[in-house]
Structure 1
Amino acid sequence: AAAPEPGAIASSAPPGGDPTAAQAGDASAAASAAPAAPSDGCPDGMARVPGGSFVMGPLKVKATVGDLCMDRTEVTAASYAACVKAGKCTDTLANCAKEASTYGVAGKEEQPMVCVDFAQAQAYCAAQGKRLPRDDEWEWAARGGEEARPYPWGGEAPKDQLCWSGGGAVRKTACDVGSFPAGANPQGIQDLAGNVFEWTTSANDGGGKMRVARGGSWRDGIPPLVRTARPGGFEVTYRCGFLGIRCVTEPAAPAAE
């Protein structure tokens, strides 16, 4: 319903009635006309993903995930630059192939931040009061939870729902984040397939020198490489032009009544 026009809320007390009751009625009406506060417990720029249990990945591992707030887009080069300026992130970044670099490159501020190793990705999320996702949390969000989608948008084969080098496209760099809304998951989280791989905290080797990364990238051109259940992996010191960051955090507890 439309909000009342300014000044349209009037006292309901009859002439000569109780002014206290009228004031209470006015306050109640004003409160009901005020915009509702966000109720999902997630910070701006994040979406709430309800938790649940599922069988994860090609190895069919049982996993349980709690409710989660996840960034709606991958971390941009501009956001990372702001973290560097604040003294909370490091700018000692590896040289990427020129065409794939985004940090400090004019016109690429809204592309995903790349050329960050695992420690730099962790530090960025921590500076925002967040963290990197676990592998199971990432897959649960990407597949739409219990919907078990093979791709974040559903069962339709990938074509133009993502930033990749398939479907007739040949790319030399990432795309601006959020450029493919048709590829979002049920909560509106974008670029979970393609654009850049995303670091997780889950190790996929016995020695802890590697971490799982998810989602595929702009370089990939065949559907299996961007499926929600397909994990990738990189050494923790690895930096490249197709590996970036997405953060998560726990939802805030509901306010006491």
Structure 2
Amino acid sequence: MGALVAAGCSDLIGADWERYKPGNGEGAAAGSGGEGAASGSGGEGAASGSGGEGAASGSGGEGAAAGSGGEGAAVGSGGQAGGCGVNGDGGSGAGAGGGPISSMTPSCLTLTTRCGPDGISCCDSRLVDGGAYTRSYEDATGSAEQRRAIVNDFWLDTYEITVGRFREFVEAGKGTRESPPEAGAGEHPALPGSGWKDSFVQFLQPDTATLMVELRKCTPPDRDTCSAIGARCSTWSDTVESDDDERRPMNCITWHEAMAFCAWDGGRLPTEAEWSYAAAGGDEERSYPWGDTADEDRAVFGCYGYTEASGRPCTIADLLPVGSRSSGDEATSGDGKWGQADLAGSLWEWTLDGYSDEYPISSQRCELCDNCANLTAGSERVMRGGCFDDDIENLTTSHRLPSKPAERYYGIGARCARDR
């Protein structure tokens, strides 16, 4: 193995770009401005699951119960919420039935590229069995009860969004102001108001040609180049270069583009609670997706995934095809408990939540997170998992960073969640 590089994606998003630096408490709390208040059905767009000042989502301000079996706490921070029931009181859970979802999603209907060591569909998605666990969000504060969370069954894509899948999206003319998602698309079934909002359209590119230029350029507004990893920092190319390139994870996408893609592809962005639940193995609460011990061979990180040469500059070539650290052997594979690949390393992944330094809870009457999320429209969104030029310390299941949703970074991509 080559030597680890000193600066990684976390450093670029933090110190170099004067953003949040792990441990310094300077991450802007979600809800401080930005995209406009999250919309709801019973008021003026009160935040769902934020534990803040908004009314509970639901009609008439009554805060319809969200969670399994109708026993869960209401999504939101006010209203007449239901009780804080534990998942299992007659809960039904989305996606029950087991087994993977294969290739019948829009991004794979005509895609011939296959992914992973077994050459399966790049759109493969696997059931995550819901349950309760203790969240370990780095730099978040809250009581022991507030850290507890309940997550319903859901499907989570086996792989991060690949270049090939995103190409289908772009070639369909989607993800632009000319063809945005419909309002409400990509909504979490237990989180009313969590889907696409018309106010997001302004953050999309005007047309496909402009989108392709921005994907290639991948330059945040406050930087002139992406020189940290060489002249090229995007995995996108306007034409197909090779199957391996099409299998690589799609980076340099904004939060709004990730949300638009997942909605178009029949899914949604996972909540932070869902993402960390899947990565931590649920109530096993693992430190890494594969277990509690750091293992250099189980993740794409540290800029030595592509070759073992040491001392060379980090380049985009270090971002390997998805599933490169997967295997059929639990003793060596980097996959998580439910079979998802690259939950550590490869790319940071966008989640639905706005960033906050407090644990989201379901309502003011209940300190439990029952399928909750921070839907407050703050200035930053949560990303998880670490990336290909990070050190292994940034790959833990508790590590999290905020990033501005409308900006592009070479270390950020996404994967979709699904409810059937």
TM, length-normalised to structure 2: 0.48
**Conservation of the 8 A alpha-carbon contact between 1:159 and 1:166:** no
1:5: which partner in 2? none
Alignment equivalent of 2:404, drawn from 235, 246, 253: 235
Cα deviation digits, residues 65-96 of structure 1 (max 9, x gap):
11010000000011001111112234413413
1:212 aligns with 2:382: yes
Name the % identity. Answer: 32
Alignment equivalent of 1:163, drawn from 297, 300, 305: 300
**Conservation of the 8 A alpha-carbon contact between 2:99 and 2:126:** no
1:172 aligns with 2:315: yes
**Conservation of the 8 A alpha-carbon contact between 1:78 and 1:103:** no
Shift of 1:207: 5.7
CA change 1:199–1:249 in 2 (3 A) is same
2:235: which partner in 1? 102
* 53-62 or 116-125, which deviates more: 53-62
* 131-140 or 207-216, which deviates more: 207-216
2:336: which partner in 1? 185
Q: What are the residue-to-residue correspondences of 1:39-54 with 2, within 5 Å?
A: 39-40=97-98, 43-44=101-102, 45-54=124-133
**Conservation of the 8 A alpha-carbon contact between 1:194 and 1:217:** yes
Cα deviation digits, residues 207-243 of structure 1 (max 9, x gap):
611100000000102x320001111110111211110
**Conservation of the 8 A alpha-carbon contact between 2:134 and 2:283:** no
Question: Matches of 2:399 and 2:154 in 1, distance apart?
Answer: 21
Question: Matches of 1:157 and 1:183 in 2, distance apart?
Answer: 11
Cα deviation digits, residues 173-209 of structure 1 (max 9, x gap):
2110010011001211100000000000111147611
The one-letter code sitting in structure 1 at the alignment partner of 2:292 is G
Q: Which runs of 5 or more residues in structure 1 are unaligned?
A: 1-37, 252-257
Cα deviation digits, residues 72-131 of structure 1 (max 9, x gap):
000001100111111223441341334321111624211111111111000000001100
Shift of 1:166: 6.7
1:137 aligns with 2:274: yes
The one-letter code sitting in structure 2 at the alignment partner of 1:47 is R
The one-letter code sitting in structure 2 at the alignment partner of 1:193 is A
1:247 aligns with 2:390: no
Question: Matches of 1:166 and 1:81 in 2, distance apart?
Answer: 26
- Segments of 4+ moved more than 6 angstroms: 166-170
Q: Which runs of 5 or more residues in structure 2 are unaligned?
A: 1-95, 103-123, 177-207, 219-225, 327-332, 357-375
Shift of 1:249: 1.0
**Conservation of the 8 A alpha-carbon contact between 2:249 and 2:413:** yes
Question: Matches of 2:155 and 2:414 in 1, distance apart?
Answer: 15
1:197 aligns with 2:330: no
1:121 aligns with 2:284: no
Q: Secondary structure at the match of 1:54?
A: strand
The one-letter code sitting in structure 1 at the alignment partner of 2:388 is W
Q: Secondary structure at the match of 1:53?
A: strand
**Conservation of the 8 A alpha-carbon contact between 2:134 and 2:285:** no
Matched residue count: 213
Question: Matches of 1:144 and 1:99 in 2, distance apart?
Answer: 35
Question: Matches of 2:162 and 2:151 in 1, distance apart?
Answer: 26
Q: Please, what is the CA RMSD of the aligned residues?
A: 2.1
Q: Secondary structure at the match of 1:70?
A: strand
2:24: which partner in 1? none
CA change 1:64–1:89 in 2 (3 A) is same
**Conservation of the 8 A alpha-carbon contact between 1:201 and 1:211:** yes
2:169: which partner in 1? 83
TM, length-normalised to structure 1: 0.77
Alignment equivalent of 2:158, drawn from 58, 72, 87: 72
Question: Matches of 2:283 and 2:265 in 1, distance apart?
Answer: 29
Which structure exhibits the higher relative contact order, with contacts defined as CA atoms closer than 8 Å and separated by 6 or more residues? 2
* 102-111 or 182-191, which deviates more: 102-111
1:146 aligns with 2:271: no
Q: Secondary structure at the match of 1:109?
A: helix
2:393: which partner in 1? 224
